[in-house]
Structure 1
Amino acid sequence: MALQEAGGTEDVYAALHAAFRWQVPAEFNIAEVCCGRWAHERPDALAIAFESDSGCRAHYSYGQLQRAANRLSNALRRQGVQRGDRVAIVLPQRFETAVAHIAIQQLGAVAMPLSMLFGPEALEYRLQDSGAVLALVECAALPALRGVRERCPALRRLIVVGECGAEGEDEIGWMAALQAEDARFTAVKTKAEEAAILIYTSGTTGPPKGALLPQRALIGNLSGFVASQNWFGFDPFDPGKPSEAVFWSPADWAWTGGLMDALLPTLYFGRPIVAYQGRFAPDKAFELMQSHGVTHSFLFPTALKAMMKALPRPREQYPTLRLQAIMSAGEAVGDAVFAYCEQELGITVNEMFGQTEINYIVGNCSRLWPARPGSMGRAYPGHRVAVIDDEGKPCPPGVAGDVAVHRRDVHGAPDPIFFLGYWNRPDATRAKFSGDPGQAPGQAQALAAPQGGEQGLGLPGALPDSWCRTGDMAVQDTDGYLWYQGRSDDVFKAAGYRIGPSEIENCLIKHAAVANAAVVPKPDAERGALVKAYIVLAPGFEGTKALVAELQAHVKDRLAPYEYPKEIEFIEALPMTTTGKLQRRVLRLQEEERARARGVLA
């Protein structure tokens, strides 16, 4: 296929979609494609470059990764872990985390990554709900896990990573467990449809739900990953000539952003990934990328904002950066950060949009089609995306609706990106889908029972031909670019106007005094709601009345008059999920509680 480089054209984007075809084998296993084949073909190639905030460094090859995974698979089998069992992984970015994922997939078990930041209640909920039979846990998370074990009857064993030491017969040290096992292991053969990973959603819109991902979901991620990383070490005009690529992201490997957008796709392509065990800091981020020769990265908008504020001229301090591509997701990047990356790093940020359930569906690839500042991008090859209304019908250009993905791609083939369903939540699974209004009468009934190659693609009670709603609002322009409006429950009305918080937050961020911002409705007896902004100040600024007036004028001059924040509150930090997403819901509920205290709400 002939493509036209640079500047991006409509022809390139259209040609990519027209030529793209999913290739999903009946049998597929994440462990084999992410490690097994590389350990066989080039065992000495670098897989994991580890660094900790204490200064510890280590390099691990694909051969070492495979041998350690084989030992762990044998150890897990010895502990009674069987095919389909859920195994919790409570580990940070480190070599053992990658080992755990490969080992669990080789067994045909289900990996359940859990954040090190989870407290006892969060751990207990997920362990109980999933029925996890074993947990791999690092020392820092061990006290919290020990505290809830007696209320998690299915949890039989803990394998402890680190030097804190195992206690009692139900705990085993990592080194002791692996040293007792053979470095050879015959992996089970899994279907592409088999369950592989259970990731609980971050709970921004309610209690966390466990999204069960199949083995094939990794395949569904790859077109978006490669595009968002400007072909990730490949020449799109001659893919047979791979170049060097090194990946790093501060995204926690316990979440979709770290696991499916960073760790697993990097290993799939046989490239090295940097594992940094430590807190994110702007200076450290640049230092890591320079010292490890990082070429590709995934950086949250919150991370990029912090880097922009802390190091306005990064290349003066880090002149040998090798960055070629940055993907960003989780929130809208905004044109201020977009311009910073272009002007100071020489990189056009590729925004991406996806969810745990259906990841890497919309985004940009600045090398092959033009990015538009502030836009989420367009549907990645292999995904059929639309903005739909409450009835499930596509919205006209410029009209806001729910971003949705069709179960079949533009060629009519099943899209492998889809999750299998929510763990023990068939009703929630069904609610995620809308029937295709384009179906002929009677077609829905005919499609209700998947057959042949579609076996397992049908979710409980869902149609194979249907739209999967994301719950995120956007408008689509005539060229297919999507423009994020916020979560459906984040968009609100004030004085009769529909308000999307992202645009206002982006405007506020452009002011030198603002490090971060969140916009929510404040209940008001007369107008229903007022626009309120919570502001985290940049270093050196104070929250004075004069600054409030200045920030209000800043927004008034740039956006519609009804969009400026009628009230501003300065706070130390915004509520965030452990994945780095802003929790506007927390602030919105706080405003509602305050309104009740004032008698504004019943």
Structure 2
Amino acid sequence: MPEKEIIEPPVQPVSPNMANYEQEYKSFRWEQVLDELSGFPGREGLNIAHEAVDRHAVGKKGAKVALRWIAENGTSREFTYNELKQETDRFANVLVKLGIQKGDVVCTLTGRIPELYITALGTLKNGSVYCPLFSIYGPEPIYQRLSKGKAKVLVTTETLYRKKVAGLMDRLEHLKYVLLTDVEKEQNDHIRSLPKLMGRAKSSFKVVATAPEDRALLHFTSGTTGMPKGVVHVHQAALTHYITGKYVLDFHPDDRFWCTADPGWVTGTSYGILAPLMHGITNIVVEAEFDARLWYSILEEQKVTVWYTAPTAIRRLMRMDIDVRKEYDLRALRLILSVGEPLNPEAVRWAQKTLGMPILDNWWQTETGGIMIANYPSMPVRPGSMGKPLPGIKAAIITPDNKEAEPALINTPGDSGHLALKAGWPSMFRGYLDEHERYVKCFANSWYLTGDLASRDEDGYFWFVGRADDIIKTAGHMVGPFEVENILMEHPAVAEAAVIGKPDPMMGELVKAFVTLKSNFEATEELNLEIKGFARERLGPAVAPKEIEFTDELPKTRSGKIMRRLLRDQEREKVEK
């Protein structure tokens, strides 16, 4: 069990929306959330885009800036809620003109440009299903997703179309239209100019009456092998988007929010688009990719109050020799949150020292649709902990020995097991596209099995142990890679670490670490031995890595998760040779 290190929450300039976690958790009911949303007249339906845009545009927030887009060249463009309503209405009318109906899939393949946000919201207004794709994908991953999703429309740029999509058109039998965001001339009946279509479309649209269980979002998971899984979410997910924006991200009316996630990832949709707009605040969108000084400048110049980012980005900032408080005015910033991979305790401590506040880690998955376990602004932070379950979410550590029976709960503090969530929350995925059996296998009776191993301490904080398939079995011991990585990160030379089990005839597996160093350290045998000794002293000889390999970069998915499976496969290939 991790030591009880506690960082008290900083005094906030505004009172947190959830002042007392325990009280709110006991009294919370999902039905209450609908009272804070508008719904359709008569409460006969629910549409995410209506809650995110229209209800603000027709109210007091019509003239408020909804989206502030900062282009790669530094120029900016703003959309008020009124303007965003008009633009998304135009896009919905474009879809109607093209014959795209309720339930049809519309995909985007772009970077962070305004057209992506307009497409996403306009698609939902039409009752169609929105599906984002990473612009970094090559032709084959794009084909797999467009084909499996039976996409009818793809919105992309001319360059991306020419390089990655044009050669696929003969294979995509369901794809009717490609809408190019940056050309004025129509190519043919199927390759169309989005600006031209938008220019001819009406700026008013009656949102299609969607029911809470109607399909709204399709996200493809980024696996390292095999075909991607299509994860289906419905309009009722809006309740989770809204309440996590209220309790976890702690949105207040004057907030300026920046989510750095790529829109191709579920975080970039749930929290880069939907949650902030549902709260009627200003959403900052930055087209450029990571650059430490640019990011600090954005935080300063845009007076960002709530910042949601990823562990990979935080660890890159930690490697930089920048005196942040001296060089940048970040007084507006009151909350920093992280998601993607578990956040190492060292990163939480770094933020407390460097930025004047801890980073609040939270946990969720593509399948959960929104944040499930989190650290909250009013709650003490335990560095390395995932936090506590969202009100309305029942989380447990279980042993799912028999999937037909109710699983046994592990109630002993510190004992690890499978992290599970009681099924039935609003943003729970409703299926894997065309893979019902695979979906069913994710559940043990009434519990969703997350595939993660975790423990819970005596105060109800959850602690990540590792992915079930990442656990290392070495000489009779079960070692969670995250535990080892956390200790390695505490060495002053280590910037990032990834730990795997390497096949070994004597031990079954031995613990091996891949380490990237901070810029002012050199990879030497002496440093290698020093880090090994540091780990042995902290972890003991059974858990500490037997091998350490220095590397310039760790392999990561597009969403920033370390690909331990790829590292394991490489090691197995070496052993077999």
Q: Is the 1:205–1:585 contact (alpha carbons within 8 Å) kept by the matching residues of 2?
A: no
1:44 aligned partner, one-letter code? A
> 2:333: which partner in 1?
323
User: Which of 250, 264, 276 is the equivalent residue of 1:254?
Assistant: 264
Deviation at 1:169, TM superposition (A): 3.0
The one-character-per-residue Cα deviations of 1:387-408 (angstroms, maximum 9, x if unpaired) are: 111322211322211111102x
> 2:519: which partner in 1?
539
> 2:419: which partner in 1?
403
> 1:487: which partner in 2?
467
Distance 1:139 1:316 in 2: 43
1:501 aligns with 2:511: no
> 2:372: which partner in 1?
361
1:284 aligns with 2:291: no
Distance 2:272 2:265 in 1: 10
> 1:184: which partner in 2?
204
> 2:125: which partner in 1?
106
> 1:126: which partner in 2?
145
The change in CA–CA distance for 1:518 and 1:165 in structure 2 (over 3 A counts) is farther
Q: Unpaired segments of 5 or more residues in structure 1?
A: 234-241, 408-413, 436-465, 598-602
User: Which of 156, 173, 180 is the equivalent residue of 1:160?
Assistant: 180
Deviation at 1:372, TM superposition (A): 0.9
Deviation at 1:167, TM superposition (A): 3.4
> 1:427: which partner in 2?
437
1:467 aligns with 2:485: no
1:415 aligned partner, one-letter code? W
Deviation at 1:227, TM superposition (A): 2.4
Deviation at 1:94, TM superposition (A): 2.3
> 1:35: which partner in 2?
53
1:402 aligned partner, one-letter code? H
Distance 2:321 2:419 in 1: 35
1:88 aligned partner, one-letter code? C
Distance 1:312 1:261 in 2: 28
Distance 1:226 1:503 in 2: 31
User: Which of 550, 564, 567 is the equivalent residue of 1:570?
Assistant: 550
Q: Secondary structure at the match of 2:381?
A: coil
> 1:95: which partner in 2?
114
Deviation at 1:312, TM superposition (A): 5.0
Q: Is the 2:513–2:549 contact (alpha carbons within 8 Å) kept by the matching residues of 1?
A: yes
Deviation at 1:557, TM superposition (A): 2.2
The change in CA–CA distance for 1:165 and 1:512 in structure 2 (over 3 A counts) is farther
2:490 aligned partner, one-letter code? K
- Normalised to the residue count of structure 1, the TM-score between the two structures is 0.87
Distance 1:164 1:204 in 2: 38
User: Which of 390, 394, 409 is the equivalent residue of 2:409?
Assistant: 394
1:334 aligns with 2:344: yes
2:516 aligned partner, one-letter code? V
Deviation at 1:317, TM superposition (A): 1.1
Deviation at 1:311, TM superposition (A): 4.4
> 1:239: which partner in 2?
none
Deviation at 1:40, TM superposition (A): 1.1
Q: Is the 2:84–2:118 contact (alpha carbons within 8 Å) kept by the matching residues of 1?
A: yes
Distance 2:491 2:194 in 1: 49
Distance 1:139 1:488 in 2: 42
Distance 2:488 2:187 in 1: 51
Distance 1:204 1:325 in 2: 33
Q: How does 1:493-532 map to 2 (within 5 A)?
A: 493-532=473-512
Distance 1:147 1:507 in 2: 48
Distance 1:149 1:125 in 2: 12
Distance 1:431 1:36 in 2: 39
Distance 1:85 1:64 in 2: 26
> 2:100: which partner in 1?
81
User: Which of 22, 38, 59 is the equivalent residue of 2:30?
Assistant: 22
Distance 2:495 2:10 in 1: 37
Deviation at 1:75, TM superposition (A): 1.0
- Normalised to the residue count of structure 2, the TM-score between the two structures is 0.91
Distance 1:524 1:429 in 2: 35
> 1:135: which partner in 2?
154
Q: Is the 1:250–1:299 contact (alpha carbons within 8 Å) kept by the matching residues of 2?
A: yes
Deviation at 1:588, TM superposition (A): 0.9
> 1:264: which partner in 2?
274
Distance 2:115 2:306 in 1: 23
Q: Is the 1:249–1:258 contact (alpha carbons within 8 Å) kept by the matching residues of 2?
A: yes
Q: Secondary structure at the match of 2:469?
A: coil
Deviation at 1:48, TM superposition (A): 0.9
Distance 1:30 1:489 in 2: 35
Q: Secondary structure at the match of 1:479?
A: coil
Q: Unpaired segments of 5 or more residues in structure 2?
A: 1-8, 35-42, 402-406
The one-character-per-residue Cα deviations of 1:4-29 (angstroms, maximum 9, x if unpaired) are: 99799x99222011221112565110
Deviation at 1:572, TM superposition (A): 2.2
Deviation at 1:193, TM superposition (A): 0.8
1:220 aligns with 2:236: no
Q: Is the 2:184–2:196 contact (alpha carbons within 8 Å) kept by the matching residues of 1?
A: no
> 1:13: which partner in 2?
21
Q: Is the 1:86–1:134 contact (alpha carbons within 8 Å) kept by the matching residues of 2?
A: yes
Q: Secondary structure at the match of 1:154?
A: coil
Q: How does 1:553-592 map to 2 (within 5 A)?
A: 553-592=533-572
1:60 aligned partner, one-letter code? F
CA RMSD of aligned residues (A): 2.0
The one-character-per-residue Cα deviations of 1:284-334 (angstroms, maximum 9, x if unpaired) are: 111111111111011101111111221453111112441111111111211
Deviation at 1:204, TM superposition (A): 5.1
2:560 aligned partner, one-letter code? G
Deviation at 1:512, TM superposition (A): 3.0
The change in CA–CA distance for 1:503 and 1:432 in structure 2 (over 3 A counts) is same
Distance 2:50 2:393 in 1: 25
Q: Is the 1:70–1:185 contact (alpha carbons within 8 Å) kept by the matching residues of 2?
A: yes
> 1:377: which partner in 2?
387
Distance 1:111 1:155 in 2: 14
Distance 1:470 1:54 in 2: 41
Identity %: 31
The change in CA–CA distance for 1:510 and 1:165 in structure 2 (over 3 A counts) is farther
Distance 1:426 1:263 in 2: 29
Q: Is the 2:341–2:561 contact (alpha carbons within 8 Å) kept by the matching residues of 1?
A: yes
The one-character-per-residue Cα deviations of 1:479-530 (angstroms, maximum 9, x if unpaired) are: 2111101111111111211111112112222223222111111111111111
Equivalent pairs counted in the alignment come to 546
